[in-house]
């Protein structure tokens, strides 16, 4: 491809009037394509993706969104920067990084004011339409050869100095079957070989098991697990419980991710984080309910667990409907809902839940002080 490919007015008119690659009523198709574009971009930025400002990530998401139908974007960096209140240089730098990694290919429209280059047009190389666009515009684009690819020229063999040296290798390297490593079936009671990568702010035990699988995603997954851990005010669960339960949650995420890949589907980081937070809340509540209900029979314990898990829902409804309620009013309202909704529980069981209400509430201490003032 030439350094600056100029797109004529007729060519550009043809591109903008192409039929969308996905029917307009196929929302799932659009969502799948958007996630595939975003996943490729996240893979380019790596850990830096989560260090970017929210406005910068939203700008990149906007670039993906307007490229879904026909595989290219011709919005100017000035327009994108002003839309999301970021610097124009930030947009230029992001586009440059994506071009260097072969995610985007750049061409220019013909200028209306002079006989030169006009506004830039960026094409997504992983879009289904790109092969057709590449042939139509004669871009001549080919994937860049990586530095670790083998050269096409045959190697010149070098003889050994002594015949005895050829019988013994100087260095024995361990063999690694990549296909076999992709199909690792994680077991919570079997330690996996530690990965060379180490994700910051994640415990060593979790890193050893899952750093090589989730890579940069592990930091966000663990952040959601610890966020759920902090929302539950308790004193019976210790760090060892957090590690054990967090490891099981990561294992479940990996199993779901593996099933999706088997069905040619993707699982984004946001979906992994949502799954991790929801699973963590359920796991921690179940653990606490099991601890406090050891003295009850199985049916009573099951009902008490359902009552405890319904407390956050009752609190959210109460705070949305009654904005002037303080913490004690919320507690009284939720207690009334529990007594009405779980009438089959014994009064002793309900009293025990209400007496230990501060263990199950999702209202943080700072928020409680505000509600009480």
Domain boundary among 111, 136, 161: 136
In whole angstroms, what is the distance from residue 92 CA to residue 37 CA? 18
| Number of independent structural domains in the chain | 3
Q: Could you tell me if residue 158 is inside a domain?
A: no
319 lies in the same domain as 258: no
Query: Is the per-residue pLDDT at 229 higher than 70?
Result: yes
363: left (phi over 0), alpha (psi -120 to 50) or beta: beta
215 lies in the same domain as 298: no
Rg, Å, the chain Cα set? 28
Residue 144 to residues 46, 148, 215: CA-CA distances in angstroms? Answer: 20, 12, 24
In whole angstroms, what is the distance from residue 223 CA to residue 156 CA? 52
CB 125 within 8 A of CB 105: yes
**Using the 8-state DSSP alphabet, how is residue 19 labeled?**
P
- How many residues are there in the chain? 373
CATH classification at residue 128:
1.10.10.10
13 lies in the same domain as 94: yes
Residue with tokens 């409907």, as numbered in its chain: 321
248 lies in the same domain as 127: no
Which residues are CB-contacts of 153 (< 8 A; sequence separation ≥ 6)? none
Q: How do residues 104-162 score in pLDDT, each as one tens digit?
A: 999 888 877 777 788 889 999 988 888 888 888 888 877 765 544 444 445 555 555 54
Q: Could you tell me if residue 28 is inside a domain?
A: yes
Domain boundary among 256, 289, 322: 289
Domain boundary among 289, 307, 330: 289
Count CA atoms closer than 13 A to 201's CA, side-chain side: 13
pTM of the shown model? 0.42
In whole angstroms, what is the distance from residue 331 CA to residue 311 CA? 10
271 lies in the same domain as 285: yes
**Helix or strand (DSSP H, E) at 109:** strand 104-110
Q: How do residues 11-41 score in pLDDT, each as one tens digit?
A: 888 888 888 888 888 888 888 888 888 888 8
Q: Could you tell me if residue 64 is inside a domain?
A: yes
225 lies in the same domain as 327: no
């Amino acid at each position: 491809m030439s350094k600056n490919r100029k797109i004529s007015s007729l060519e550009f008119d043809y591109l903008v009037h192409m039929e969308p690659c996905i029917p307009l009523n196929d929302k799932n198709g659009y969502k799948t394509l958007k996630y595939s574009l975003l996943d490729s971009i996240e893979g380019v930025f790596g850990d830096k993706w989560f260090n970017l400002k929210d406005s910068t990530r939203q700008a990149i998401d906007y670039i993906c969104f307007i490229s879904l139908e026909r595989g290219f974007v011709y919005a100017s960096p000035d327009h994108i920067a002003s839309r999301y209140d970021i610097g124009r240089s930030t947009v230029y730098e992001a586009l440059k990084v994506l071009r260097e990694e072969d995610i985007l290919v750049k061409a220019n429209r013909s200028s209306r004011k002079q006989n030169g280059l006009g506004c830039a047009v960026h094409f997504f190389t992983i879009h289904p339409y790109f092969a057709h666009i590449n042939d139509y515009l004669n871009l001549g684009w080919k994937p860049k050869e990586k530095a670790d690819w083998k050269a096409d020229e045959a190697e010149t063999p070098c003889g050994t100095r002594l015949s005895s040296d050829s019988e013994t290798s100087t260095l024995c390297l361990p063999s690694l079957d990549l296909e076999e490593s992709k199909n690792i079936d994680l077991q919570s009671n079997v330690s996996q070989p530690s990965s060379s990568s180490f994700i910051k702010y994640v415990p060593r035990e979790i890193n050893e098991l899952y750093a090589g699988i989730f890579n940069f995603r592990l930091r966000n997954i663990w952040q959601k697990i610890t966020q759920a851990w902090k929302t539950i005010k308790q004193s019976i669960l210790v760090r060892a419980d957090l590690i054990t339960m967090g490891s099981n949650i990561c294992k479940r995420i990996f199993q779901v991710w593996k099933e999706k890949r088997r069905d040619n589907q993707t699982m984004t980081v946001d979906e992994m984080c949502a799954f991790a937070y929801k699973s963590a809340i359920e796991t921690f509540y179940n653990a606490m309910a099991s601890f406090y209900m050891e003295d009850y029979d199985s049916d009573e314990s099951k009902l008490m667990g359902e009552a405890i898990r319904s407390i956050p829902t009752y609190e959210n409804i109460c705070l949305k409907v009654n904005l002037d309620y303080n913490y004690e009013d919320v507690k009284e309202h939720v207690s009334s809902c529990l007594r009405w909704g779980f009438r089959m529980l014994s009064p002793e069981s309900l009293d025990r839940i209400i007496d230990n209400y501060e263990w199950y509430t999702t209202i943080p201490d700072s928020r409680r002080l505000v509600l009480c003032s």
